[in-house]
Amino acid sequence: MDMGFGFVHLMTEKKSKAEVFKARLFSTVLLWAIVTGMFLSDSPWAFAGFMVLLGSTASREYFAMAKNANFPCLYRWGFLTSVVYLVWIGCVLASGGSAALDTVSAMSGAAIAFVVITTFVIQLKYPIEGDDSLVSISGTLIGFLYIAFLFGFMARLCFIEPSVDGEGVPGKWLIIWVVAVTKFTDMGAYITGSLIGKNKMIPHISPGKTWEGFVGALLWAQLAGCVLYAMLPDDLGILGGWHHVVILGFLLALLAVVGDLAESIIKRCLYAKDSGRTLPGIGGALDLIDSLCFTAPVLYFYIRFVI
């Protein structure tokens, strides 16, 4: 890829701060309108459908970035298996609720085995040129596991506890909690780093991140987690008490930072500034869910095996 051309292209499309703010405001209002509609409907299909849409869009962005960077990858196969998997577990959970969680776990294991085996089989029809074949297989599997599989845990969190009346989405407040903790981590890192950040954290991956911002991220995550739990102790009773809330706030903040850095690795390797333009002013869907791909699975397993 011509890095010089990419730089010129980005410079010619650079927008003013006012234009960026308007675009970001539009995307934010749109997202909140969708989330509000989901909560008002309390429909399992609405929640599952939104998760499937976000995950599928993020998968498309990943494989599009790989293709644009001429990165060896089975683009269509990777995207197809990701979408089918997300739709599959979304439908099973929306129709079966918490009773379907064990089924989804078994399905996920079968899906991973299927994708690994078939990816190798498909790669057999292409000639071996250096390490391109192995890179292609690895890139395809990373796309499926990193986005479709990991983000799929957001849908599981919606139904991690049984519904009292057999209807609705019992884990909807848990979704709000994990999103708040994750996003406040990002916000805390940005604000604190902008104000007092001096010591670079990992400059070879993300030059803007500082250790001061990292400490701010941990504090803001605790703020979001504890305030929400104090406001909604009954709705968030599945978190098991204050000591678990504090532990999870710290743990999820660490994972949110790692999740953000993980996407930075991918974008740097694929010469991309943003994962896409799905959300004007914000970037792509992958930019929106990157940290959640790391926090959602850990929260799910912590609740199931610790709490």
Q: What is the domain partition of the chain in residue ranges?
A: 16-305
pLDDT at position 200 over 70? yes
Q: How confident is the model at residue 28 (pLDDT cuts 50, 70, 90)?
A: confident
Q: Retrieve residue 124's tokens.
A: 């057999």
Which whole number is the average pLDDT over 282-298? Answer: 92
- Tell me the C-alpha distance between 158 and 136, whole Å: 34
Burial of 26 (0-12, 13-18, 19+ CB in 10 A): middle
254/256 Cα distance (integer angstroms): 6
Contact 74, 122 (CB under 8 A): yes
Nearest alpha carbon to residue 54 among 299, 294, 288? 288
Amino acid at 206: S
The pLDDT of residue 281 is above 80: no
The pLDDT, as a whole number, for residue 14 is 57
Residue 92 banded pLDDT, cuts 50, 70, 90: very high
Eight-state DSSP code of residue 209: E
pLDDT at residue 300, rounded to an integer: 97
For 225, residues 6+ apart whose C-beta sits below 8 A from its C-beta are 177, 180, 181, 245, 246, 248, 249, 252
pLDDT digits (tens, 9 = 90+) for 1-17: 333 333 333 333 456 65
Whose tokens are 């002013």? That residue is 281
CA gap 165, 188 in Å, rounded: 38
Whether 167 has a pLDDT exceeding 90, the answer reads no
Q: Dihedral (C-alpha) 46, 224, 241, 176: value to the nearest 10 degrees?
A: 0
Alpha carbons 61 and 66: distance in angstroms, whole number: 9
The residue with tokens 């981590």 is 185
pLDDT, tens only, 101-148: 999 999 999 999 999 999 999 999 999 988 999 999 999 999 999 999
